[in-house]
Every structure is written in structure tokens, then in C-alpha cells.
Amino acid sequence: MRSRPARFAIRISAMAAKEVLHIVRDPRTLVLAFVMPVLMLLLFGYGVSFDLDHLPLAVADADRTPESRALVDAFTRGGEFDLRARVSPGEAEDLFRRGKAFAALVVRPGYGRDLARGGRAQAALLVDGSDAASASQLLQKADAIARAESLRRAAAAGAAGAPPIEVRNWTRYNPEGRSAVFMVPGLTVYLMALGAVLLTALTVAGEWERGSMEQLFASPVGRTDIILGKLLPYLGLGLVQLLLVVAVGATAFDVPVRGSLLLLFGVGLAFLAGMLGQGLFISVVTKNQLVATQAGTLSSLLPSLLLSGMLFPIENMPPVLQALSRIIPARYFVHALRGILLKGSGPAELWPDFVALLVFAVAILAVATARFQRRIA
């Protein structure tokens, strides 16, 4: 006769083996679960960034003096702007509507004369603001170019020696401003939420849908065994995804791993447990795969993407959403991952995140299990 814990372990591993068999028998799920992270990482690492250069610029130079040409040259020389068209001031708006230019530099007659007199000379920049993010970057760039041109003119006129105030910016953690370094922690969180919540929700809801859940209840396997057996394979899958994303990020994109890997996995485990619990809860409530998908997307994927600080700083959100973000586990995991990978933070800085993740995991698993027990009693 085996001891109780031994029997418990056998039952759970039987359930887990059944689930692993489900996954392995049709490897398409597995392939998708692993191809997706790598694909997303490659896209973000190689392509998707917020950094703009070669912005299409239209120029309307009505002044036609050496000074005005120098200003146009200052705009296009550095590669930030590409001269796309020379137009009359009235044509600029038409170009915007057709999406042919982002900005138009308009130099009125008299620009060169004003400069030669040693005064302030003004040029106008029309900006297509429909893409607000690009427009504000463009404004920053135009501003810097105008400042540099101003300084050059002043220096040429023999006006300025050393500047009176000088500021030295020192950017830490990601000095080159690479999007991949910023995105990898956020993506990891998103992918793990996707895998853990949705795959669990779908597999459990699938058992209800097909009626095989009743068969499981008729077997000597207990409810807790069913839950643990269902969740364990996906816990493993999630950890492998975490490892994969961090490894690809570190090798292909030089994302640093400054903190301890053990800590990384500890926090990852706490996050995964919560996400699996959420998936279980959704499936118990919906019992339908299609509905479970949407519920999972709305309750976990969307908040992980929008409210976790993965893409958009939390401080910028309205207070209601800031408050809401406090109950989103992804927020704590994103913060912890960035800390461990980029800043080399240790337990001293990260224990609040860990505690928050743990509290969420325990609470949601308890609620889901209770609900699961009641459904069938």
C-alpha cells in the first residue's frame, strides 16, 4: 500500500500525462506556442520602433537667398528629414491629405534680409498632426535643428563664445534607446499571459464542451488532482516560453540580464500561477471555448498590453486607469522583469512585486477551485 502523498502524486502525474499527450499528439499547438514569441520578438527587435528619421518634408522657399537655402540644408542634411517636394505654400495641405508629406517648411520672403540685419528671422513649419506621436517627435527634431542653426549663425557673427549654460544628459540602462531592450520584458509578460490564460481556459472549457469533464469526475481522480494535472503542463510551457524569450532577447538583441536568473524564474512562477488560475476561473464560468477566448482577451490580454506599463507609461494614464492597473498582475511582472533584466535589481527592490503576484495567484486559484468544486457537487 502506497502512502497518501504518493497516491496523490500518481493521480496528478496521470492527469498531467494525459494533458501532455493532448498537447504532444497534435504538435501544431506547441509549434504555435513557440513560434509566436520568436516571431513577435523578431518583429519588435528588427522592425518596430517609434524612432523616426527620413521624414518626408515639403519645402516652400519663397525667399531664395543663401540664408534660406542654408536653413533647408540644415533640415535635410542630417537624415532626419528627406526633401520630397518643392511646393508653393498653398500646396502643402494638399500633400498632407494625400499622405505625401509629414511637414512643410515655409520660408517667406524677407527671411534672409532679417538674418543679415542681425535680428530674429522666422520660418514656419506646417506639421500634419494626425499622427500625434510622430508629430511630437518631428517637432522635437525641428526644434533642435533650428537651435543648432541659430547657434551656428550666432557663432558666425562672432557673437557667442562658450555657451553660458551647458547640460550634459546621461541616459542609463538603455543608453542607445533600443526598442528591443524596452520591449522584451513587456513582450515576455504578454506572451506568458496569452499562453497561460488562454490555453488553460481553452483546454478546460474544451473538456466541458465535449462532455469529457463528466467522465473525468466519474474516475477516481479528485477535483484538486484534475486542476493540478491540467495546470502543471501549462506551467511548464510558460516557463519554457520565458526562457526562450529571454534567451532570444539576450542573444539576438543584446538585452542585458543584469540580475539573478533564479529571481527571474521565481517571479515568473508566481505570475504564471496567477494567470493559470485566471484561465481556470474563466473556463469554469464560461464552459465554452469561444466565449472563454473573448473573456480571456478582455480580462487578461488587453490589460496586460495596455495597463501594465509595457507600452505606455502608467503615470500618463487617467487616475481611474491608474487605480485599475494596480489589480493587473502584469503590471508587477513588467516592473520586476525590467528591474531584473535592465537594472540588476534584487529582492530588496522587488519584494513588493513578488508579494502582489503571490497574493493574486493565491486568491484567484482559491476562487477558481471553489467555483470548480461547486459546479459539480
Interaction residues for another protein, span 283-302 (CB under 8 A): 286, 288-291, 293-295, 297-298, 302
Burial 355-377 (b: 16+ CB within 10 A, else e): ebbbebbeebbeebbeebeeeee
* 46 vs 217, beta carbon nearer another protein: 46
DSSP track, 34-81:
HHHHHHHHHIIIII--S---SEEEEEEESS-SHHHHHHHHHHHHTSSE
Instruction: Pick the binder of another protein from 3, 4, 165, 377 (CB under 8 A).
Output: 165
Site for another protein in 88-117 (CB under 8 A): 93, 96-99, 102, 105, 115
Using rule CB under 8 A, residue 39 touches another protein: yes
316 is a site residue for another protein (CB under 8 A): yes
- Distance of alpha carbon 169 from alpha carbon 218, whole angstroms: 68
Select 4 or 120, whichever has its Cβ closest to another protein: 120
Burial group, residue 212, by CB count within 10 angstroms (0-12, 13-18, 19+) = exposed
Separation of alpha carbons 313 and 324, rounded Å? 14
| Residue 25 binds to another protein (criterion: CB under 8 A) | no
Among 312, 323, 326, 366, binds another protein (CB under 8 A): 312
Per the CB < 8 A criterion, the answer to whether 245 and 191 are in contact is yes
Which of 6, 9, 77, 140: binder of another protein (CB under 8 A)? 140
Q: Is 128 in the site for another protein (CB under 8 A)?
A: yes
Restricting to residues 187-226, name those near another protein by CB under 8 A.
194, 198-199, 202-203, 206, 209-210
Least distance from another protein to the Cβ atom of residue 4, Å: 34
Edge-to-edge order in the sheet of strand 55-61 = 81-86, 55-61, 103-107
Task: Rule CB under 8 A: choose which of 1, 5, 162, 251 binds another protein.
Answer: 162
Window 344-363: residues binding another protein (CB under 8 A): 345, 349
Cβ at position 337, least distance to another protein in Å:
11
Query: 202: which 3 cell numbers?
Result: 481553452
Which residue type, as a one-letter code, is found at position 354?
Answer: F
**188 Cβ neighbours under 8 A, 6+ residues apart:** 37, 241, 242, 245, 246, 249, 337
- With contacts defined by CB under 8 A, name the span among 7-15, 240-248, 312-320, 367-375 that binds another protein: 312-320
323 part of the interface to another protein, by CB under 8 A: no
Number of residues near another protein (by CB under 8 A): 123
Report how far residue 303's alpha carbon sits from residue 297's, in angstroms, rounded to the nearest whole number: 9
Interface with another protein, residue 174, by CB under 8 A: yes
